[in-house]
Amino acid sequence: MNRESVRDYLLGKPEAWEDFPFYPDVAVMKIGRKMFATLVDQDGIARMNLKCDPDEALILRDIFPAVLPGYHMNKRHWNTVILDGSMPRGEIERMIDNSYSLVVRGLPARERRALEIRHGKSKLYP
């Protein structure tokens, strides 16, 4: 996946939106007011940060050389994924889905229930 296809997939999540609170070249994808991904080009290679279960984060780093501890993030809960073509599309999409779901689960109950009513649980927690 390249930057554009990843961006499209991220923004295709229910009620996801793009913000630029840090720098104009660092896209931050949010659900509500919570960040679930960042996307940036660095030296011509796209990278994104994704939230992850701490145990799974370590496993993914062992399996894929393109998965690193989260750059400028809590390294226990975030991974950086280098979009260099070395990872299968399905795995990248699964990691995005998991990041989104983890953040949705952490939303205040009122916001989370409203999302579930509007979109159904299966779209929020794949």
Which pLDDT score, from 0 to 100, does residue 65 have?
97
Percent of the chain with pLDDT over 70: 100
Question: What pLDDT score was predicted for residue 43?
Answer: 85
Task: For residue range 72-125, list pLDDT tens digits in order.
Answer: 888 889 999 999 999 999 999 999 999 999 999 999 999 999 999 999 988 888
Give the integer Cα–Cα distance in Å for 69 and 78.
Answer: 7
Q: What predicted TM-score, i.e. pTM, was given to this entire model?
A: 0.94
* DSSP annotation string for 52-72: --HHHHHHHHHH-TTEEEPTT
CATH 3.90.1150.30 fits 3-124, yes or no: yes
Per the CB < 8 A criterion, the answer to whether 85 and 104 are in contact is: no
Beta-sheet strands, E only, within 1-126: 16-19, 26-31, 34-42, 45-51, 67-69, 78-82
The confidence band for 126, taking pLDDT boundaries of 50, 70 and 90, is confident
Q: Residue 13 above 80 pLDDT?
A: yes
